[in-house]
Each structure stands twice: as structure tokens, then as C-alpha cells.
Chains A and B, each alone.
Chain A
């Protein structure tokens, strides 16, 4: 950690986005996490993604629970809305916020403790409800804040820094998310921004519940040779199934690249995702095949990363509930109190 604020001076030729902001304008306070923490890289990737998408920072809400990961929203998007909720309760707060104001971009930032232990129920329900959000789990397999006990995502058989073996089965956040009906499910690695940044961008653009399980080594407690979430282990076992190029254009496009290696997926809202396939037979829109593939590779000891599942026909909670199109804070007295005639109609319909 550092006591110094990051100097405001920046590269003289730093590029600006459509809003005229530089990437530096999307930063937050300087991180107080341990030096080398994977979470800081994820913050860096979120900053890069929001910059590249030219998101107005004041149209983003970042919500978190408790833990090292949940501290990170302080370290990015300093000009956005933030809510640091009760441990494991970020999904409820996010769901409520999303229902009240559907026009913001919601970033739920959580960790393996916050989501897979205390908040597992909340995690499950906000995914199955299809809340329109990006849910990022900064997954390091340990409780870093309490000095390195196994978390619920630690692999069975992996050892703690002190040499204790983990006897319990890990919670598979990816498998759960696919089963529970999340419509955008990806896994990535904090040490690979080239993969992570486009995934975050696509998840933000995706309408519906998007989960990114991001393996994020804990340099202080889980970056040793017996760990399965260390920089070295993840790099050695990382098997990327595809690489994503986000295409924001809405009109029909054609592909110049060789067919078979690149796939265009048209989403419900008309946007396109361009997938460069690294595993030729992997089809992220085939739920059953994807589940099978993931389990096979997991059994082989590999960590599959990339866009793992996508439902192009996604819909979100608002679609299902048929809520009003405007954010609640934009509704005036006329909409909120339609008058006795309207009440009469409603009452009549219930008789």
C-alpha cells in the first residue's frame, strides 16, 4: 500500500474518449490494498473498460459488500455513485437500486467470501431474477482480511500458506450462475487485462444478469506454490476458450476474417459480440454443452476462461415485471397520482 496519492500529472499524449475524458478521469482514490493484489488489476480493467465505453461516470453505480474486494470501488470511478453495503447483501441493495432507477449502469463488486459464503443466497437470487447488472466476483480463494483462512471457493486439496489442506468441496460460481439463469457468464484472470477488459465491456453492454468470476491472486496469503489461485498456477492452467472483441455498432456487419475462427453473436438489443474462438468446438450459447465442457476441463485440472455462456435472448427483471420505463425519481405527480377515475378503473377490474 502507499501513502502517496497518485500524481495528477499524466502522459502528455494520453488519449481521450468520446466524452473528452482520459483514462485517468475514471480512477478513484489510491488503493490501500496490499501491493501486488490482483484486485487492483481488476480495478484497472474496470477503469479501462468504462473509459473505452465512454461511460459518463455519474451514470454508473458501484455497489459492494464487505471484504478486500468490496473495498475496491473506492479505487475506481471516483466520480460515480457508490454503496458499500452489509456483508453479503450487495445483491439486494443493487436489485433495489436497479428497480428504482433503471437508467444507471450497475457494477456489483464482491469477493468469494462475500458471494460464496455469507452472501450465497443473495448471489443466487439476484442472478435468477435477471437483474440488469455486472456482477464481478474478485475470487482469490482466501479470506485475506482475516489473514488467509480458506474461503468457500478454495479448491479441495489445495493448501493454505501455513500448509493446511482444504478438505471441503469448492463452490463453483460459474456452474451455479449458468444453472441459475444468468445470461452472461465469464471467467477471467486479473493478470490478463487483454482478456478481462473486453469481457467487462461486453458485460456492461449486456442487458441482463452478467457474472464475471475473476480469479485474483492474493499476494499476501494465496500466492504460494501449493495454491491453485496463484499467479503462476493460474497462468500454467489457464485455458481460454475464446477471446472477445466487443462490437458496439448496432447495424448488420460482415466478417472479413476467416470463418470458423470468428463468430458473431447478435444480442437481444441488437448489439454484436465478436468472439475469436480459441477452442474450435466451444459454443458459448449452448448451455448444456458448455456445462459439460466446463466440468470435463475442470476434472482435467484446467481453469477455463473466456466468455463461457451467453444467452443472446436475455431479458432483465424490468422486462419480466413490466415496470415503468422511466426511473422512479423522474415520475411526476401526474404519473404517481393518476386521479380517482384511474382508481375507479382499477377497483372495477378487481370486482
Chain B
């Protein structure tokens, strides 16, 4: 019976491919030289629009190297202190920790820790060369996208001119985000790092009202980062009559921010379910709004606001009422008395589309003194003439290349909310980096469609037989909560920051929840003796030795079926027994036990560091 054993290839008990099953058709060996492969395994970094190397800075925080952690962030996302308080955190829903226990690592709040405890970082900032390179770039708007472009281009010698209608830089970071979430000093500091680089001229208080005239000033390139500044209005009977007490959320927040508004009525209704609505209701609560209610058209779970922002609002005693559509504004003698809502329910048609259908129940009247309208925001480009060769989409947005950020007018580039409609700060930063690369290439006369590749390194972390240069013990701590200011104090002062930030001790404990997903399990086929030690020790059953096959046949018959199709399989070349090693990356803890138990070093833990190419900042990260 020679060969009888090798046909029984599967290590998973009870799972045997039929004798004679063809082995030749199967998944090809995974090409780990493709930077995307290991990048995808670092879920947080892959999900981040700016691709910040998250585990790298979390380890630096754990080591108490806050300045280094800050600089890893600064190079990648430019505003660590601001983002550490306000980021939309696409990294956290992606975090692998959330797939093996209840909640992801508090990545965003750890970023703030780096900002809170760092030393003076100014000596690490790049300097613009003494002499400019003679190229002039105009930036329209001083928001996060424009500032990122300035950060990336100024050290290369570009002369940057930033235009903004407000008296200070920051854009929506300064106008829309309430101070109790983001203190002004943090904005001043991080905007100041950029405007202080050299060759950056700020023309605050000068709103660009004609792109044509700006272009006529002879700039080599223009970047438009003017945001999506117009809040959508409410269109129901009574709106105009009660206008004195109905405010557009975005404008109202800006007015609060600049100190033009410091009171609101006792009873406030906030219309809308996005993050702006959450900022409005919490701000109202601090300006005399004792009974603040958020009312949304759709269901609570469909709201656009981030879950944590909803939680923060409810924590401050603000109810959120759903499935209520505003129907009429009631007023008496020119004074707002309340809003009438129609009750609706969600119905799904045969194509799965949701419709809000009136339930037929009596309308609901909510009395109030003020209404804040936060039902969406729109782009507005009144300053762009339509006859200068810059094409617009039917949606009203400019036609912009999603990779190069270039418009149809070659010297004009877009980024942030101005490019593809309202998103968030971290997307604006990502756009800014790409636009800066394009502008640099454009000004050098190079093809903007050619993009520089990311810089990657892959290095073994082995220090001894069971010693690694990263802390591979898995903490079982649940997510740590950020300490909050006493609500009694916080609700009295619109400028008192609610979150106090992690203490160094709490921050350390939270860093230990990070699974170090950038420390990759690298498999060397030729060293493997198929002893099963890795299979036995793996706490999450990621590793299987089995007969190869097409991916759809392989996934269900692994030791733990790999049914999360968003996560890749790592497949080796064929081993001596004719089997292949298949690792499901989905819930790997990166604990390194496979490598510790491997007698031949076929498994190794290697740190994969990926840094995106930026116009400036081609020097490797020096903190690694």
C-alpha cells in the first residue's frame, strides 16, 4: 500500500480528501513580496486612509516613547493631537482585537496619549531649505487637506500661499468641532507646526472669491481644499416665519466657536443624525439648553453618527428619538413654539430598498425654543467660474481623478471634502498627501499618474529561543475607558474638554491589548518538517496542513473554517508530503507561539513596516 498515507493528506480530524483527488489544481503560493499582502494583515493600517503604522506607534507608547510615537503619527497623519480626539477612526472597526473579543483597541485615544505626553517635538520637524525652488503653490482654504499639502511641499522648497476667509487656520477643525471635544491650543499647536515650516505664507481673512483671478496670479499649481461648508436647510411650512430661532447647525457651531453665540433657549430640538448633530446637541447642552432632544428621520441604528458620538450625547442626558419626520414648524407672533413630526416606519421593497412610510399614528408635537438643523452638508464652489476649463460632475462636485486628485484643469488639484463631498479629517489628510505628490510631479514636469510605491521593510524580531523584540504575551484586558470630566462641571463650560485622556498607566494597559498585527508570521516551506507543533499550539486554530485545492474548497475544510472572506489565506508551496500549509489570517493573535514551537525556524515573526510615499518624508521612519 505505498502512497496510502500521502493521499490521506488532511490533518484536520475527520476531514480527508477523497483518494485520488487532484492536487495540482489549488491555490498558488502566496506572494508575500507583494506589499499589499502583509499590509492587509495589519487591518488598522490598511483601513486608515493615510495608512498610519498603528501597531508601530502603539508599541512606542508602551515603551513610554511618546515623542517617537507622536512623530510616527505626524509623518503619516499630520494632526495626531487633533485626530486623537476627533478622528472618525476607520481603524477601530477594522481592528482584529474586535474579532477575537468584544471591542477593538482604543487606537484613537492612544494616539492622543502620544500627543499629550510628548516632549517638545520641534527639533524633529523638517525645515524648508533657505532658498525656495522658485515654484509657487496656492492653497484655497486652510483646512486639514490644504495644511497637509503645505506640510508635504514646504520642506521641498515650494513657496506656499494659504488663503482662508477665517482669522485662523484649521478650517472645519476650528469652526465645526466644539471646544469641549478639541481644545483650541491643540489646533493652534498642530497648525503652527505647518505654518512654521518656512516658505508658508498665510493669508487669513482673505476668502478666495474667484479662481480665475487666483490662477491669473501666476501660481504654478493651485490646490482647492475649501471643504463642504454649506449646511443643508430645512424646507417645511413655518421655517421662514420662525427663522429667528432656527439655526443651520454648521453655521451655529462656527458662531459658537468664534464666540459670537453663547446662549440658546431652554428647550432645543436638534434635527439630524450625523456627527454634526451630535456636536450641536452637546454644545446646546452647554449653552443653556436644559432639555435638548435629537430627532432623526430614520432608525437609531441607521444614524450616520459614529456609535461613540451617540453614546457621548446620551451620556449627557440627551434623548435620541427616531422615525420622526419634521412636518411643520409651529410659531406664534413670529416666535417658534415647536415642531410637528410625522411618525414613520421603515419598509423594505422587493429590491431591499428602505422607504420611510407614515404609520398613520397621530403626529407628534414637540415644543421648543430653538431648532438646530444638522441634516447634512453640501459642497459650494461659488468662487469657481464655470468657463475656465474646470469640469464639474452632474452632482455639482468637480471632476477629480481619485488617485492623483487632479482636476480637468491640469494645474488645479482638489482634496478633502471639496473633492468628493463630505468625509472626515483623516480622508482630507490622505487626499492632501496624494495631491502633494501630484503637485510636486506636475511642477517638475513629470507624469502625475506615476505614483511612488510605499516603503516597506520586513525584519525578523527573534532575539533568542523564546524572546522577541515585541511583547508577544496576549493581554486579556477588556477595552479601557477614557476618564471623563464630571458632567456637572463639563456641562457648564463649552470650553472644558470632556475627555481627560488616558493616564500613562491606563494607556500602557490599553497598548497591551494591541495584537501587533504588523509582526507577521512568515513561513519558509523548505525548513518545515511537518511536525504539527504550530498547529497544536495555535490558540486560534489558524494553521492547517492539508491537500491543496481551489480557495472555495480550501476555506471550509480548514481546522477552523475560514469563512471571513475579507481576510486572506496564506498558502505555502507544496510540502514533502504533498500537502500545503494554509494559514487563515482572520483571527491570528500574532502571539508568535507557532514560531516558538517550531523546531526548525520554518515560522518566524517578522515586522512588516509600511510607510506611504509622501512628497516630503522619503526618509525612513527613524523610530523603528
A residues sitting closer than 8 Å to B (CB atoms) are 1-4, 6-14, 24, 30-31, 34-38, 40-41, 43-44, 48, 52, 190-195, 197-198, 217, 219, 223, 231-232, 235, 238-241, 243, 278-279
Contact = CB atoms under 8 A, between A and B. Distances in A.
A145 B542 CA distance: 31
Given A7-B539, A9-B476, A35-B596, A219 B531 contact: yes
B531 A231 contact: yes
Given A34-B599, A36-B533, A38-B531, A4 B8 contact: no
A73 B466 CA distance: 23
B598 A36 contact: yes
A240 B598 contact: no
B13 interface: yes
B290 to A, nearest CB: 44
Given A6-B593, A8-B476, A52-B13, A40 B536 contact: yes
A269 B587 CA distance: 43
A198 B13 contact: yes
Interface string B3-17: 011101011111110
Given A1-B465, A4-B593, A13-B561, 7 more contacts: A11-B587, A193-B532, A194-B12, A194-B13, A194-B16, A278-B4, A279-B1
Interface in B564-615: 576-577, 587, 589, 591, 593, 596-600
B466 A231 contact: no
23 contacts: A2-B593, A4-B596, A7-B473, A8-B539, A10-B100, A11-B540, A11-B560, A11-B587, A30-B537, A35-B596, A35-B599, A36-B597, A38-B531, A41-B536, A43-B536, A44-B532, A190-B532, A194-B11, A194-B12, A219-B531, A232-B529, A240-B4, A279-B1
B538 to A, nearest CB: 9
B4 A10 contact: no
Contacts of A240: 1, 4-5, 8
Nearest to A52: B13
Contact of B8 (A217, A239, A243): A243
A11 B543 CA distance: 12
B540 A48 contact: no
B98 to A, nearest CB: 10
A30 B599 CA distance: 16
Contact of A231 (B2, B11, B530, B589): B530
Nearest to A44: B536
CB-CB nearest 3 A-B residue pairs: A36-B599, A7-B474, A44-B536
Contacts of A24: 539
Contacts of A192: 5, 8
Contacts of B540: 9-11
Contacts of A194: 8, 10-16
Contacts of B591: 4, 7
Given A6-B539, A7-B539, A10-B540, A239 B531 contact: no
B132 to A, nearest CB: 54
B484 interface: no
A10 B473 CA distance: 14
A322 to B, nearest CB: 38
Contacts of B542: 11
A238 B1 CA distance: 9
In this complex, the interface size class of chain B, counting residues with CB under 8 Å from chain A, is 35 or more
A1 B466 CA distance: 8
Contact of A12 (B16, B99, B532): B99
Contacts of B101: 9
Interface of B: 1-2, 4-6, 8, 10-16, 99-101, 465-466, 472-474, 476, 529-533, 535-537, 539-542, 560-561, 563, 576-577, 587, 589, 591, 593, 596-600
Contacts of A9: 100-101, 474, 476, 539-540, 589
B577 A217 contact: no
A240 B596 CA distance: 32
Contacts of A223: 529
A16 to B, nearest CB: 13
Contacts of B533: 35-37, 40-41
B498 to A, nearest CB: 32
B8 A231 contact: no
B589 A4 contact: no
Contacts of B8: 192, 194-195, 240, 243
Contacts of A217: 531
Q: Which of A7, A24, A231 has the most CB of B within 10 A?
A: A7
B537 to A, nearest CB: 6
Nearest to B101: A9
B473 A4 contact: yes
Contacts of A235: 5-6, 530, 576-577
A298 B14 CA distance: 28
A2 B596 contact: yes
A241 B5 CA distance: 10
A303 B475 CA distance: 45
A13 B529 contact: no
Q: Which of A44, A194, A241 has the most CB of B within 10 A?
A: A194
Contacts of B2: 239
Nearest to A230: B529
A14 B541 contact: yes
Contacts of B541: 10-11, 14
A52 B14 CA distance: 11
B21 to A, nearest CB: 14
Contacts of B530: 191, 231, 235
A223 B533 CA distance: 15
A239 B541 CA distance: 29
Contacts of A36: 529, 531, 533, 597-600
Contacts of A35: 533, 596-599
A3 B576 CA distance: 31
A12 B15 CA distance: 21
A43 B591 CA distance: 21
Contacts of A232: 529, 576
Nearest to B465: A1
Contacts of B99: 12
Contacts of A30: 537
Nearest to B601: A35
Contact of A4 (B11, B14, B472, B599): B472
A217 B533 CA distance: 12
A3 B99 CA distance: 26
A6 B592 CA distance: 10
A217 B532 CA distance: 12
A231 B465 CA distance: 22
A30 B101 CA distance: 22
